[in-house]
Structure 1
């Protein structure tokens, strides 16, 4: 069949239509696609472990199950460390409540002296402001419970998907190779191998980013004399896996911890340190360390993070970076898509 060469504007219109339809499909199908993509990433990372277990003589299904269990134990250890941090923080709650009470008295006295608002007027205003908080809190509690239950269910499906991807990996590989003619097999094999190596590098990049952030925070906080500097830094690095939102959550918790064990000025100092660390992480560490491992230039890395937030929310900010890297790898092997690979790649 003779191929038809379309004009540039026609090709551009078709590409835009295909891109929009793909993003819409990814958005409305995110309940299924997000756990599947997470499972794909983790299965690539666990593949060396699964292969090693098979070389030791274990059945493929048992090797896949043990690999998934090792991953669960690793994640459970991080959660256990974080839970111990929360328990240690609760021991300081009485002191924190006492400090807040003292601060509230100072604020009320300042309002009385500055604006001549007596205590009764302040109490009435607070009562009116908080009258609708109870119903709002109940609805937020219900939404939080539903969200936690949804995350739990999706986590179960994610682990099941990971197991089956490890167990049926040869079947999936035969399916992918069967989609292409025999003369394209070398390119297909090269793309699959490059994608696997890239995902492993991406995971290593995330761990490297966490290590750099811990060093940056613990050294700065220790120099400033902040208590629990190491504890705060490790917690920040763990929560920073959630791009942008995680660092501010860690900042809030860290400011509470510092306020309960120090002075208000120290809590403000911790907040400033976290803001500066977030700026460095988002604009220097993340694009160069994580983006460098997946061979994306910093501009494309940031665009991928923002597009992921738009399509998949918080998980998309994490998942769209390896997705963009996979697209770059495929573009390198397809002649008509090589200009996109140049645009997405690093400048030589």
Structure 2
């Protein structure tokens, strides 16, 4: 009887619209769970990516005779030291920038006065009406100022706590990596283990290449921008170059956000001409990055077409906020790899993959 039931269940073939409905319902349910569980899932997924990047370091330390737990702890400590050193280098420029904030406020006040004159000359709205409108807007901002300040302190506290958990998660993922692999393999029947091994190997290889490619691209972009800004005499070259490299991780949207922020920073101790120069440098750098650095260094590691990449970025923003704009790219790439190996999901892999017919 058990054999007949199993044979019947294996022989059932649902219509396409039924399979599509089940897939969409499952997708919506997963996205809802990811949204409400983001406090745990985001540091877990970050830890997964970083643990893959630190895995070669941990293995090398183990080959030198260190215990796996000690090697995992040293790998995480090296990661913290590298990030801390980088933040220390940036802190000098951040402190210098804060000293010029009053000058930035004066310049923005002058710009607002020019805009006010333009509004008066163009739309014949007198200064009293403009000031009344600005006061109403300022009043609403003052009402929310204390709330925003309190929310900022809470957010900073949450980031610190999540960072601690992220480091703990990274350590345990390195230390228990064999346990996690045995758990995943135990979920599937014996005749499917070769496919599962192939998916794990492909996903691990893709994530490693993606992270190493991104870090290499970021380093080259930082050197290129810092050198160019130093030649042009732009202050805070390192600060705005790092902002550009970090936000450039978000495809299509990050570089323009970085350009706007960098123009504001440049105005603090520069002229509008300097800010315009920064914008031109960013546009040229983005062209070089999109057409030379990204294809050659990062390449087709994630193998997602541009449409799916943009959808992944926007979905990540909707589900997880700013971290999701970065995390949903490798997550979508992992889903594509799984879809390639699972029978019945290959059409979705084709939809997400690159168009090989030019």
Deviation at 1:347, TM superposition (A): 3.0
User: Structure 1-normalised TM-score?
Assistant: 0.84
Structure 2: distance between partners of 1:150 and 1:245? 26
Which blocks of at least 5 consecutive residues in structure 2 are unaligned? 1-5
Equivalent residue, structure 2, for 1:201? 209
Deviation at 1:187, TM superposition (A): 1.7
Deviation at 1:201, TM superposition (A): 1.1
Query: Compared with structure 1, are the counterparts of its residues 167 and 101 closer, same or farther at alpha carbon in structure 2 (3 Å cutoff)?
Result: same
Equivalent residue, structure 1, for 2:192? 184
RMSD of Structure 2 on Structure 1 (CA): 3.3
Structure 1: distance between partners of 2:27 and 2:334? 16
Taking the TM superposition and a 5 Å limit, the aligned residue runs for 1:97-108 are 99=107
Query: Compared with structure 1, are the counterparts of its residues 245 and 336 closer, same or farther at alpha carbon in structure 2 (3 Å cutoff)?
Result: closer
Matched, 1:29 2:37: yes
Greater mean deviation of Cα atoms: 43-52 or 278-287: 278-287
**Tell me, what secondary structure is at the counterpart of 1:5?**
coil
Structure 1: distance between partners of 2:134 and 2:348? 57
Query: Compared with structure 1, are the counterparts of its residues 16 and 131 closer, same or farther at alpha carbon in structure 2 (3 Å cutoff)?
Result: closer
Match of 1:86 among 94, 100, 112: 94
Please tell me whether the aligned partners of residues 242 and 314 of structure 1 are also in contact (alpha carbons under 8 angstroms): no
Greater mean deviation of Cα atoms: 102-111 or 82-91: 102-111
Structure 2: distance between partners of 1:175 and 1:75? 32
Matched, 1:12 2:17: no
Corresponding pairs, count:
347
Equivalent residue, structure 1, for 2:344? 336
Please tell me whether the aligned partners of residues 68 and 162 of structure 1 are also in contact (alpha carbons under 8 angstroms): yes
Query: Compared with structure 1, are the counterparts of its residues 98 and 62 closer, same or farther at alpha carbon in structure 2 (3 Å cutoff)?
Result: same
Which blocks of at least 5 consecutive residues in structure 1 are unaligned? none
Deviation at 1:345, TM superposition (A): 2.0
Please tell me whether the aligned partners of residues 288 and 298 of structure 1 are also in contact (alpha carbons under 8 angstroms): no
Equivalent residue, structure 2, for 1:296? 304
Equivalent residue, structure 2, for 1:151? 159
Deviation at 1:320, TM superposition (A): 0.9
Residues 252-305 of structure 1: per-residue CA shift (max 9 Å, x gap)? 543244223332232244346546766887899768865722222222222211
User: Structure 2-normalised TM-score?
Assistant: 0.82
Deviation at 1:251, TM superposition (A): 3.6
Matched, 1:321 2:329: yes
Greater mean deviation of Cα atoms: 327-336 or 66-75: 327-336
Query: Compared with structure 1, are the counterparts of its residues 295 and 113 closer, same or farther at alpha carbon in structure 2 (3 Å cutoff)?
Result: closer
Matched, 1:66 2:100: no
Structure 1: distance between partners of 2:133 and 2:349? 60
Deviation at 1:88, TM superposition (A): 2.1
Match of 1:305 among 304, 313, 321: 313
Deviation at 1:138, TM superposition (A): 0.9
Match of 2:246 among 220, 228, 238: 238
Deviation at 1:337, TM superposition (A): 1.8
Query: Compared with structure 1, are the counterparts of its residues 123 and 37 closer, same or farther at alpha carbon in structure 2 (3 Å cutoff)?
Result: closer
Please tell me whether the aligned partners of residues 93 and 236 of structure 2 are also in contact (alpha carbons under 8 angstroms): no
Structure 2: distance between partners of 1:239 and 1:110? 34
Deviation at 1:209, TM superposition (A): 3.5
Structure 1: distance between partners of 2:199 and 2:310? 24
Please tell me whether the aligned partners of residues 251 and 310 of structure 2 are also in contact (alpha carbons under 8 angstroms): no
Deviation at 1:234, TM superposition (A): 3.0
Deviation at 1:327, TM superposition (A): 1.2
Deviation at 1:231, TM superposition (A): 4.6
Structure 2: distance between partners of 1:124 and 1:21? 48
Equivalent residue, structure 2, for 1:55? 63
Residues 149-176 of structure 1: per-residue CA shift (max 9 Å, x gap)? 1111111111111111111111111111
Please tell me whether the aligned partners of residues 248 and 254 of structure 2 are also in contact (alpha carbons under 8 angstroms): yes
